[in-house]
Structure formats: structure tokens, C-alpha cells
Structure 1
Amino acid sequence: MEDNRSYDLVILGGGAAAFAAITEASGRGLSTAIVNTGLPIGGTCVNVGCVPSKHLLAVGESAAAPQKNPFEAVQYSDDEPTVDWDEALDGTDALVERFRQENYVDVAEHFETDIYEGYGELVDDTTIEIVDGPDKGIRITGEKTLVATGSSPWVLPIDGLDGVDYYTSETILKERNLPGSIVIIGGGYIALEWGQILHRIGVDVTILQRSERVLSGMEGQLGREMQRAFEEEGIKVITGNDFQRVRAPAVDGGADAIQSDVGIETLVDGNERTVTGDALFVATGVQPNSEDIGLETVGVEANDDGAILVDEHFQTANPDVYAAGDVIGEPELETVAAKEGNHAIKNAFGNEGVTIDYDTVPAVVFTSPEVASVGTTELEYMDEHGTCSCRTVQMEDVPRAKAVKNTDGLVQVVKHHETDEIVGVHMVGPRAADMIMEATLAVKFGLTVDDIIDTVHPFPTFSEAFKHACQAFRRDTSTMSCCVE
């Protein structure tokens, strides 16, 4: 006997988009249900993404603090820091559990959302059947359906890779015995964040990137600055790789041959090279979780990469099915997923026609120094207009950075060459993740460089770097005193 249950809104997925959707739906008096497929409730960010990685980045930063001490007045012993990785993971697990309970389970209960656990498939327009798992056999039907199944690590196809064990950003969180050395394939934010985490707790890290710089999707200066900072810290970075194959085990030649667990054969500038390590970490991006969830059955289309196709209002080819979050593709950010989930419900049940301006969505990499970016890059502006009005200031010229001896980084501002409106801001430096919000508001609301110059900034702060970059359009900042307007 089939177990059929009905709601106003049924959701396939249990992450940020789903919870933003039930929050909006509750305000409209709608009944809601979630089929949580894959990761525990809360999705990628709370379970294997933002929360654990930022916790472990803080652990690594504390471990690195003595070595990075810039003040002669403060002395440390020569002893290396000792990090108890078991304790670090225990702390991460406890943090994740608390976030999951307080921010998801309790929220769902508050909004009277029923949660079903198991693998769900769309079987008939707005009906989801749980085909495996604890609630197998239950069917839930809604007036509308939201697909918010998120994404999973994507593995670059390299010859021999399927024959070796490797870590991803999800599986590394289960590893209690870390290797002495690790090779990371990839040069995006996951590779950089995890590379710094592992390096700072004592693992020898080598990062291999296919393109000519890390963070290849961001403004070029940011990747070059981060590579310099990483190499200065002791993290090896090799760019311009043409990966040939992965082999294991690999043996370094010579009389004192060293057995290693993995070797990556690559071409760099046309030269053959083999990079070896005790373990391999693949951080080459993510892919939408759109396979085997019944999209074809209900007339929902996806592109070749698996991203569900939606219009600007997050409606699929089936007018009763909406989709939001990582499953619809870039940008794969928790906050964007939440905004998409919220807007999908407003459009599905209120016909509000709300959309997102993705050009004003900031991106952040939580390394040390931090990386943050919003809007148009110099190259993008050049391609569109054939010219660029851009200015860059170095953090070493910012009074606060000099005062605290934390001078890595830069800030670049891209403005419209006719209107002076700020169209892009890109930065590397201390607290860039917090500084980017002023820049985001500038880009979103079309502020000019003079608007920023005319705004009094507290002194001394890192945020003055943004103002200095704007002032660079109007004066020679090298001859400027601290508080010149």
C-alpha cells in the first residue's frame, strides 16, 4: 500500500536553498516538506564545507602564529607547534553538530516542516518518491516542487587516477591519520584553503594547477599575489600543468630511493616532470547532484555539466518545478543558494518576478591573507570596452597594515571610464573578507570613486585601502599623508 502525503511545497534537498525556501514559505502560511538526500541535514556548507574548513583554518592560523610573529619584542622558542589533528576534528565535528541542530533541525521544527530521510526521485510532476533510505516507500506531493540537491566534488579525469586512493574536501574530514606529504591537484579556493590548513599543521604540501595561475577565475593579480604568499610560507605551487597520468606507488630515483604512495606525471612548459607525495588530494571543482533524481520523468532539463536549466526566476522547463542552489550551477556559494531558494518561492507562490544580479555577488577565499572580489575584472572590462580605468594600491602602503606588520596584499578598483562608477573591486589582504562588503555596496548601487573618497573612513583601518585605491584616480598616493581627503 502506497503512503502518499500532500503539502503546498515539497523540496528535494536539505541545504541552504531548501531552508531559505521553507523560511519564505512559512511566512506565506504554506505547508512544507523536505526530502533530505545525500549529506546530513544542512547540506555542504555546514557539514563538509564552510563550517569545518573555516574552523580548521583558524586552527592552522593559531599553529602558524609563532612563526609569523613580525615583532622583535616578542620571542618564541624554536620548538615547532604541535597540532592534535584528532582533537581538531573532534572540535570540528562538535561544531558541525551544533550548527546542524540549531540552524537546521530546530529551524525545520519551528516552521513545522516535515523532514524525510532517504534518496528521493521526481516521479510525477510535483511528486517525490523516496526510493531508498529510512523513509523508503513514502511519496510526497506538492503544489510546487523545489529541487535543491546541491553539488559534490568533481574529479578531473586523469589517466590512472581511478586506480589510486585520493582525498576530496569531503573525505579529508574523516581522515584521522594525516600523511607526511600531500599533492593537491587544483588551484581554486578549496585547494588553497585546504593547502594552507594542511601545511600549517605540519603536512608538506604541493599544489598543482592546470592554468598559469591559481584562482584563475578571479582578477589576475590576486592569483599571482597568493602564489607569492604561499611560496613565501613554504607551500610549493606549480602552475601550467598538463597532467599525463597518476601512478602509485612511485619511487624517486637515486641510491637513497624513497617510496611514496602517489606520483603525478605532468608536463610543465613542455618538460616532463613527476611530482610525488604520500597522498593525493583532488580539488578540481564541484558538479551538480542532478543524476538519477528523475529530471527526465518530469520534463526538467540540464546542461552537459549536469546543471539544471532555469530561467531568471528559477523556474525549470516544467512550470511547477523550480530549482535553486549548486544544482543550477555557478556561483556555488551558500549565501547565493539561500537567496535563490528564497526567490524561487516568491516567484512560485507570489509571482513576484524577483531575480539576482550575479555581477554584484562577492566571492571570498578564507586563506591568510584573505582574498575577496566583486564585479568586473580588468580583463573583462578591457574585452568589453577596449580600455580600462584601474588603480591598484599595495597593502604595504596602508597605515594600519604597516602598524601591525601585516602587509601582504593589494586592492584594485576598476571604474567606468566615463561615469566613474565603480564596477569591480579585487583584493588580497588582512580582513579582505570583511572589507569586500563596502565594495559590494559600491558596485551594487553604482557609487563613484568620489563617493568613496568623500566618505570618512576610520583611521587606522584596513578598510582605508579601498579608499586609497579610489584616491589613486585623483592624486599621487605616494605623496599623501595618512589622513588626506
Structure 2
Amino acid sequence: MPSPTDYDLVILGGGAAAFAAITEASRQGLSTAMVNTGLPIGGTCVNVGCVPSKHLLAVAEHGAAASDNPFDAVTYTEEPTVDWTEALDGTDEIVERFRQENYVDVAEHFETDIYEGYGQLIDDTTIEVVDGLDKGTRIAGEKALIATGSSPWAPPIDGLDDVEYYTSETILDERDLPESISIIGGGYIALEWGQILHRVGVDITILQRSDRILSGMEVQLGREIQRAFREEGIDIVTGNDFQQVQSAAADGGTEAIQQGVTVETTVDGDSRVFTAEALFVATGVQPNSQNIGLEALGVETEPDGAIRVDECFQTTNSDIYAAGDVIGEPELETVAAKEGNHVVKNAFGDEGATIDYNAVPAVVFTSPEVAAVGTTELEYMNEHGTCSCRTVQMEDVPRAKAVKNTDGLVQVVKHHETDEIVGVHMVGPRAADMIMEATLAVKFDLTVDDIIDTVHPFPTFSEAFKQTCQTFRRDTSKMSCCIE
């Protein structure tokens, strides 16, 4: 076996955390190399996550434009149709361009060596490619970063392993969509893909285990998006106690996903059966931490497989760091990038860089959009025994009324003594963009009066945040459009 090639930093993985790390490493004049396996270079977000799903959400939204038209002055002579194969071809083109421009070209610019294949840590900071294109290659560094990401996770439901089902990755390979799909799950992946598929003509039923969708977010958000989905024609059933999944085909053969899948469940004590042509499992992800050599090197993991790190992203092996989805929630591309950046600062500069996860916004890119940052009403109540919270409905916001796009709400949670904004939760048009002002408010301890005192453009959806802050000070039903 040849001696390993030496670098300052070696990385197992090729996604957002890895590329943020090589960017910071280049700034510090450090040499880097990465071993990439599984998904093409760029990881989940560019290949099977953010980029393709947001493109297809836009395609589906335009496909549904005629049915969603609220204006009597606008008429359509015929309904638009969506060519799913053409939509996926367009997605592939965008993904390939992003991958080349944002990852391959970036790695070349920073003079990072990329090795393709399945990598394992065989020494504290030595990675060997044990299978794949560059099998047999060894790279060693002063420090090592594990950034192997995550993969779709399926729950232990009886029979699930015996049927074929879609995930957020495999659905991108399906050119011939079925007429109906049951989706198990009620988080952002289930909702985004449920709306995409519904709007391109698939009959969708969403089956959620807990008593509400978006169960990790503010209660009102799940309730509001559930109402909007049902109005659109997407069936949502919550409170499922899943009993069994099986092929609807008589022979139970390998063609089950084409012939039908039945989900047997109990809802409020009643047995129910949901049958569709296909099944989509969207129940979250699991860290890619198996079979990469962790145990032999003293790198500990949590019960769910997430690599255990301290606040500076150092593992239980002092020479090895970890970042991104492989260390657990929140599994967000932007968070992975920030973590990867901080790894290099901490490993080579001892900067002690950390992340305030409470000030990280979460977004669901459905229509209407869902966005949140900071503390929920329930979390605040549990901590303080009281809550100073206000909610404004989008139907009371001037811009929303003017454009007849009034689905949604904004809730602000403030500290009951200092008036500092500690949480903002919203459903509505442009919520994904509006949440950034709220994020700054939470991050920098702004008060509701700071937001009220800030002049907002009129009429905009962003005024909904200001208007919600104003409800702490006045009766906003007795207020002209842009007072203060």
C-alpha cells in the first residue's frame, strides 16, 4: 500500500459542510482534500434536496395558477398542464449547472483534491478509499472532518421493507407518475412533495403519525397549513398508529409499487385502510455514520447514529471534527455550511466558534410558505409559566388584501419583562423571505418597539411582522394602513 498523500485537512464527504470548510481553509492557506461517495459532488441540497424540489415547486405552482386565480378580471381559455418528464429534464439541467459552478469549479479554484469512492477512517486523520473510482487511495491530514450527511429514514412499520416506495431521492428518477400516492410523514418533505405531486395531477393522501403536521413547529402553523392543503384538495390524516403496509397486488410481488400499496392504520381507535398506486415515505433522515471507521477511533455516536460533538464540533477524538447532517438536527444546508466553516476556525485557529441554533430560521416552501425562528409559545410557557404572544391574520394585512392572497398568519412571542422578541412564526405568501427580519430580531435581541419604530415599505407582506408587533401596543383594527 503506498504512503498516504498529506494535507492539512482531509474531509470525508462532499456536501455543504465540506465546501464551507475548504473555503475557510483556503482563506487560511491550508491544503485540503475530500473523499466523496454516494451522491455526486455537492451532496443532498444540490442533487436531491433544495435545488430540485424548489424548481419543481415553482413548476407545480405555475401549473396550478389557473385554478388558484382569485381575480374575476382574469380568465383562462384552457387549463395549463405539466409535462412531468420535461419538468424533471429541466431539473436535471439546473442541478448539473449548480453542481459544476458551485462545487466542481469551486473545488478547483481552492485547489482541493477530490477522490471518488467509499471512504473510511483507518487512523485518526487518515482516510482510505475502500471502494469506487479511487479505490486504494489514502489521504492523511493534520485534522479530519466527517461531513457524510444523511439519507432518508424509514420507520419500523410492519411490511414496509417488503414493498417498494418512493423517497425524496428516488422520486426524482420516476418519469411516469402514478395516479395516486399515499405519503407517510407530516414534515416539510412530505408537505413540499405532497403539494408538488398534487399540482401535477397526482391524488395525494398525507398520513402523519402525530396529531398534527409540522409537529416540531408552532402549533398554529401546522393547523393553518393543514387547512390550506385541505382547501386545495390534499387529504391529510393525522394521529395514525400504523399497523401494516403491504402490496395491493395479489401475489405481493416486486411490482407492488406499480400495482398498489395498502396502509393499514388506526386513527382515534378506528381501523382504517388507505390504498394508492404508490407509497412515498417522508419520515425524516438518518445520519450517514455507519461503516466509516468511527468505533475503532473512539468517535462516539448518539443512539440515532448522529456523531457526538461538543459546541465547537470536535468529536470524542480530539483530531476529528464533524459537521452537517451527520451530527443531527437541524438538518439544513445553511447550518451545515456554517458548521463546516467553524470547524476550520476551531481546528486550526482555536477560535471557539459556535452557533446559536435558536436563531436559525426554518422554512417550508409550500404555498403558502411556512417559516419560523426562535421560541414557540408552548416552549416559552413551559419555561416561564406565562407567555406574551400576539397573532395577526394575513387577511388583516393591507398587501394581502390588495392582492387577494390572504392565507396565513404571523405570531410574535416576546419576553414578558424585557419586550425582546424571542420567537416569530408565520404562514403566508413570502414567509420564507419575511423570516429574515424576524431572525435578526431574535439574534440581536430587538424589542417589539424596535420593529415598530422601523419604517417598512407599504404595502408589503413584511408589514405583517410589524403589525403583529404593534398589537402589543394598540388595537390594530382601529388603525390606518401605515401608522407609525
Same fold by TM-score, threshold 0.5 exceeded? yes
**Cα separation, 1, equivalents of 2:289 and 2:215:** 26
Q: After TM superposition, give the deviation of residue 93 of structure 1 in Å.
A: 0.4
Per the alignment, residue 255 of structure 1 pairs with none
In structure 1, stretches of 5+ residues that fail to align are 252-258
Contact between 1:42 and 1:100, CA under 8 Å: does it hold in 2? yes
Per the alignment, residue 241 of structure 1 pairs with 240
Per the alignment, residue 451 of structure 2 pairs with 452
Per the alignment, residue 18 of structure 2 pairs with 18
Per the alignment, residue 273 of structure 2 pairs with 274
**Residue 353 of structure 2 is aligned to residue 365 of structure 1:** no
Per the alignment, residue 47 of structure 1 pairs with 47
Percent identity for Structure 1 against Structure 2: 81
**Cα separation, 2, equivalents of 1:134 and 1:303:** 31
**Residue 279 of structure 2 is aligned to residue 294 of structure 1:** no
**Cα separation, 1, equivalents of 2:198 and 2:177:** 11
Amino acid at match of 1:63: G
Where does 1:190-201 land on structure 2 (aligned, <5 Å)?
Answer: 190-201=189-200
**Cα separation, 2, equivalents of 1:303 and 1:85:** 40
CA deviation digits over 1:239-272, x for unaligned, max 9?
0000000011169xxxxxxx96011000000000
Q: After TM superposition, give the deviation of residue 298 of structure 1 in Å.
A: 1.2
**Cα separation, 2, equivalents of 1:357 and 1:483:** 34
3-state DSSP class of the match of 1:34? strand
**Cα separation, 1, equivalents of 2:50 and 2:362:** 13
Per the alignment, residue 8 of structure 2 pairs with 8
Contact between 1:266 and 1:273, CA under 8 Å: does it hold in 2? yes
RMSD of equivalent CA atoms? 1.0
Where does 1:84-483 land on structure 2 (aligned, <5 Å)?
Answer: 84-249=83-248, 261-483=260-482
3-state DSSP class of the match of 2:300? coil
**Cα separation, 2, equivalents of 1:395 and 1:248:** 43
3-state DSSP class of the match of 1:396? helix
Contact between 2:248 and 2:275, CA under 8 Å: does it hold in 1? no
TM-score, with structure 1 as normaliser: 0.97
**Cα separation, 1, equivalents of 2:28 and 2:388:** 47
Amino acid at match of 1:24: E
**Cα separation, 2, equivalents of 1:188 and 1:114:** 37
3-state DSSP class of the match of 1:446? coil
Amino acid at match of 2:334: T
Amino acid at match of 1:36: N
- Evaluate the alpha carbon distance shift between residue 180 and residue 312 of structure 1 in structure 2; reply closer, same or farther with a 3 A threshold: same
**Cα separation, 2, equivalents of 1:80 and 1:450:** 47
Per the alignment, residue 81 of structure 1 pairs with 80
Amino acid at match of 2:429: P
Q: After TM superposition, give the deviation of residue 481 of structure 1 in Å.
A: 1.0
Contact between 1:183 and 1:206, CA under 8 Å: does it hold in 2? yes
Q: After TM superposition, give the deviation of residue 80 of structure 1 in Å.
A: 3.6
Q: After TM superposition, give the deviation of residue 81 of structure 1 in Å.
A: 2.5
Contact between 1:260 and 1:276, CA under 8 Å: does it hold in 2? no
Per the alignment, residue 254 of structure 1 pairs with none
Q: How many residues align?
A: 477
Q: After TM superposition, give the deviation of residue 478 of structure 1 in Å.
A: 1.1
**Residue 51 of structure 2 is aligned to residue 31 of structure 1:** no
Q: After TM superposition, give the deviation of residue 3 of structure 1 in Å.
A: 4.9
Contact between 1:230 and 1:236, CA under 8 Å: does it hold in 2? yes
**Cα separation, 2, equivalents of 1:222 and 1:262:** 30
Contact between 2:182 and 2:279, CA under 8 Å: does it hold in 1? yes
In structure 2, stretches of 5+ residues that fail to align are 251-257
Contact between 1:266 and 1:272, CA under 8 Å: does it hold in 2? yes
Contact between 1:250 and 1:276, CA under 8 Å: does it hold in 2? no
Point out 4+ residue stretches in structure 1 off by more than 4 angstroms: none
Per the alignment, residue 256 of structure 1 pairs with none
**Residue 72 of structure 2 is aligned to residue 72 of structure 1:** yes
Amino acid at match of 1:392: T
Contact between 1:3 and 1:137, CA under 8 Å: does it hold in 2? no
3-state DSSP class of the match of 2:217? coil
Amino acid at match of 1:471: Q
Q: After TM superposition, give the deviation of residue 2 of structure 1 in Å.
A: 2.4
Contact between 1:250 and 1:263, CA under 8 Å: does it hold in 2? no
Q: After TM superposition, give the deviation of residue 483 of structure 1 in Å.
A: 1.2
Amino acid at match of 1:5: T
**Cα separation, 1, equivalents of 2:54 and 2:116:** 28
